A and B are shown apart, each in its own frame.
Chain A
């Protein structure tokens, strides 16, 4: 279970390491689009864009659906969740970050106190 999640996180991270793919996600955050639309928007060949969308799809960030001859892309289930989850993600990040900052600041405080003691002696 944990290994499976790790593999998924790796896939997400690999997918997000590319600027074009991040751009595609931002674009799909605004509205769904066909692969042809995306290829035009990002000045790429259809084949090139298909590859990018494939990587995003594997990571679960994008889902695609073929209607007639057009393949439409939209953000995957894990792409944009509701507002509460979105806020919670930001909060969790800053919470963890500031807990670590606390530790660094506590150390600075201790060092200052020790310095002061040395000066008094």
Chain B
């Protein structure tokens, strides 16, 4: 029943993530744009990380700042500004924690009660997108890797 996530490198500079939700676009927009709701899903529990702080002024021209920590380590900050916020359909933001950060566009398309979410990261260069895996995502991906390993180990033991 679970809806699948697809991730595709659309070009040298662009990474596109898609996922369908069994809900109208306005509810997904609400979960994305209300900080108290956003805090509940942006860092999945399985990543073992804590959202230390999250501030967001979600409107065109507003800014955001997220601080994430892993088991009490010094927090890492992620920040940028919203280039466009159109209720229920589109949010565009910059990622300025790195000089080569991408511009991310999230769009919602509702059809028959379901909504297709498309998230696109447009990086300034091919090199920047290649290196994107070496940032915080790497640490996160590694956690999933660990989980996979652990599951494999448990499977082998049982």
Contacts and interface: CB of A to CB of B under 8 A. Distances in A.
Interface of A: 1-2, 5-6, 8-10, 12-14, 16-17, 19, 22-23, 25-26, 29-30, 61, 75, 78-81, 83, 86-106, 108-109, 112
B5 A101 contact: no
Contacts of B133: 80-81, 86, 89-90
Contacts, number: 153
Interface string B121-135: 000000110110111
Contact of B28 (A16, A86, A100, A105): A105
Contacts of A78: 138, 142
Given A10-B73, A30-B131, A95-B5, 7 more contacts: A5-B146, A16-B135, A89-B145, A97-B42, A98-B41, A99-B2, A101-B31
A14 B134 contact: no
Interface of B: 2-3, 5-9, 15, 17, 19, 21, 23, 27-28, 30-32, 37, 40-48, 70-71, 73-76, 97-100, 117, 119, 127-128, 130-131, 133-146, 149-150, 153
Nearest to A90: B7
Given A13-B73, A16-B135, A109-B23, A96 B142 contact: no
